[in-house]
């Protein structure tokens, strides 16, 4: 495996995947310019430092000289950076990881477009200028399998526009971002797209600081406020652990030679919604609701409190279960470089559930 040290520009450094990737890049001695915003009375540097400390205190203390945090915002012109920093990046950047994105499913379309579409355009415009300077090699754009929308067939790595509709503004905005990437590829940029399935915490420890999507299902189940819930053993879902995603990205970062490819970054093993439900129930101890179809669940007469809790989950779950995703090309490439996604086993998912309990995101029921 090549180990040439590179100068990298990273967006989304305070997000789940971006922060874990930052840890790995610093561990390996690469110079990283990380873009971040101030938020919740914390400046960009403090936020990035906090998340690095969460993953690995040693990396933070031993490799901080490799990290430069830039206060900015992908949704702003020139990423919210001044001319001095823009000039610096244009002359130094050798590779870009664009990990920043809005991930909520129910934002107004124009609001999420500003981040996921306009933000991507701002990053790619910087890439064009870097490319003109002659140092930039490649842009790595993190996307999602949800670009498939409501498509019900097999969705392959080279698919994008297959006549799908969209169940959420998130899906549509990420689809539009990929269409934008296609245009910039034609302008001479090497841009690889990495589509992710729902990302869980670290496989070995369960650690995470983002309790979204599947974690919201765990939370809802643990409340024991629903007498019915849609579970189907035939409906399969692809989960991926954040450490596996970041390591796969780093493997391809070091080895990829084919320009402008799309990758589905998850392994073939899947788990049914019923298996996930039963494992969660075993560890959390909640009462088992009656199992019904999603169609019936969507029209069930819930109280306002119940409906408020499940509204966003209905969109998420329906979307997740529509298409079947092929990752043949990705798997073959990674196998070539001796990388394989870990098998999805109950022990790892148990770690995920236990960490959510230990973090008090969900409460274990008394036996």
Q: What is the pTM of this model?
A: 0.93
1 SS3 class: coil
DSSP-assigned beta bridge partners for residue 325 = 155
Contact present, 178 and 330 (Cβ < 8 Å): no
> 8, 33 in Cβ contact below 8 A?
yes
> Beta-carbon neighbour count of residue 224 at 10 Å?
14
Give residue limits of the domains in the chain.
Answer: 7-200+240-264
CATH architecture assigned to 7-200+240-264: 3-Layer(aba) Sandwich (3.40)
Alpha carbon distances (Å) from 278 to 233, 275, 281, 341, 346:
11, 5, 5, 24, 11
Cα–Cα distance between 97 and 113 in angstroms, integer? 19
Sequence length of the chain is: 367
- Nearest residue to 138 via CA among 243, 252, 28, 36: 252
Rounded to 10 degrees, the C-alpha dihedral 176/178/184/189 comes to: 160
Mean per-residue pLDDT pooled into runs of 10, the chain (367 residues) = 79 97 97 95 95 94 94 96 96 97 90 97 97 94 94 94 93 97 98 94 94 87 86 70 95 94 82 82 89 77 80 56 82 93 76 94 82
Q: What is the pLDDT of residue 2?
A: 46
Residue with tokens 């031993």: 62
* Cα atoms in the Cβ-side hemisphere of radius 13 Å centred on 272: 9
pLDDT at 309: 75
DSSP assignment letter at 168? S
């Amino acid at each position: 495996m090549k180990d040439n040290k590179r100068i990298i520009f990273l967006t989304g450094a305070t997000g789940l995947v971006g922060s874990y990737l930052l840890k790995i890049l610093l561990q390996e001695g690469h110079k990283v310019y990380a873009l971040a915003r101030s938020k919740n009375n914390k400046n960009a540097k403090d936020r990035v430092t906090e998340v690095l400390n969460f993953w690995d205190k040693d990396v933070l203390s031993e490799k901080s000289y490799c990290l430069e945090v830039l206060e900015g915002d992908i949704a702003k012109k020139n990423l919210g950076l001044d001319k001095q920093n823009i000039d610096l990046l244009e002359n130094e950047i050798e590779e870009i990881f664009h990990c920043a994105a809005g991930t909520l499913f129910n934002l107004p379309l124009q609001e999420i477009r500003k981040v996921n579409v306009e933000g991507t355009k701002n990053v790619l415009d910087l890439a064009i200028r870097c490319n003109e300077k002659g140092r930039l090699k490649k842009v790595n754009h993190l996307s999602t399998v949800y670009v498939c929308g409501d498509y019900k067939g097999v969705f392959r790595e080279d698919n994008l526009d297959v006549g799908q509709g969209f169940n959420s503004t998130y899906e549509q905005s990420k689809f539009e971002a990929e269409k934008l990437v296609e245009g910039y590829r034609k302008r001479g940029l090497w841009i690889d797209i990495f589509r992710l399935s729902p990302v869980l915490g670290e496989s070995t420890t369960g650690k995470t600081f983002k309790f979204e999507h599947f974690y919201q299902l765990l939370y809802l189940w643990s409340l024991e406020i629903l007498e019915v819930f849609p579970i189907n053993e035939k409906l399969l879902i692809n989960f991926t652990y954040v450490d596996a995603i970041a390591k796969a990205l780093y493997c391809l970062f070091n080895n990829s030679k084919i320009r402008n490819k799309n990758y589905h970054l998850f392994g073939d093993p899947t788990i049914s919604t019923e298996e996930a439900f039963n494992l969660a129930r075993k560890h959390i101890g909640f009462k088992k609701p009656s199992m019904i179809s999603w169609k019936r669940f969507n029209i069930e007469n819930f109280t306002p409190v119940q409906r408020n809790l499940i509204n966003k989950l209905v969109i998420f779950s329906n979307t997740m279960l529509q298409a079947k995703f092929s990752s043949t090309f990705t798997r073959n490439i990674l196998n070539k470089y001796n990388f394989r996604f870990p098998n999805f086993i109950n022990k790892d998912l148990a770690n995920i559930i236990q960490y959510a309990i230990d973090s008090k995101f969900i409460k274990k029921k008394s036996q």
